[in-house]
Structure 1
Amino acid sequence: MTIRLLRVVLAALVLQVTAMVPSFAQDQMALLNTYIGNWRGESALIGGDRNEPFRCRLNVAQGDIGKVNYTGRCTLVNATLSISGTIAYKQELGRYEAAMSSNAGYTGLAVGRVSGDTISFDLREQAKDRAGSDVRIGAKIVLVRDTIQVDFEVEFNDSGEVLTAAVPFSR
Structure 2
Amino acid sequence: MTSFASRWRAAALAGLLALCGAGPALSAPADVALLQSYIGEWRGRGVLIGANTETVVCRMSLTQGNQQKVNYNGRCTLAGTQLSVAGTMAYVEASRRFEAAMSSNATFTGIAVGQKRGNGLIFNLRERDKDEEGKDLNISAQISLNDDAINVVFEVVYVESGDSLRAEVPFSR
Q: TM-score range by the shorter chain?
A: 0.7 to 0.9
Q: Summarize the alignment of residues 12-161 of structure 1 with structure 2, pairs less than 5 Å apart.
A: 25-48=28-51, 50-161=52-163
1:118 to partner: Cα distance: 2.4
Cα 1:100/1:60, change in 2 over 3 Å: same
* Cross-structure match for 2:172: 170
Q: State the Cα distance separating 1:81 from its structure 2 match.
A: 2.3
**Local SS of the residue matching 1:112:** strand
Q: How far 1:84 moved relative to its partner?
A: 2.2
125-134 or 51-60, which deviates more? 125-134
Identity between Structure 1 and Structure 2 (%): 51
String of CA shifts for 1:126-147, please: whole Å, max 9, x gaps.
1111122111222221111211
> How far did residue 33 of structure 1 move?
0.9
CA distance in 2, matches of 1:76, 1:151: 15
Shift of the alpha carbon at 1:88? 0.3
Deviations 1:17-58 (A, max 9, x none): xxxxx8x7112111111111110000111012x101111111
Any unmatched runs of 5+ in structure 1?
Answer: 1-21
Q: Secondary structure at the match of 1:121?
A: strand
Higher relative contact order (CA closer than 8 Å, sequence separation 6+): 2
Structure 1, 32-41 or 127-136: larger mean CA deviation: 127-136
Note if contact 2:128-2:138 (Cα within 8 Å) is conserved in structure 1: yes
TM-score by length of 2: 0.79
Taking structure 1 as the reference length, what is the TM-score of the superposition?
0.79
Task: Name which one, 1 or 2, has greater alpha-carbon Rg.
Answer: 1
Alignment length (residue pairs)? 148
C-alpha displacement of 1:82: 2.1
- CA distance in 1 between partners of 2:109 and 2:140 (Å): 9
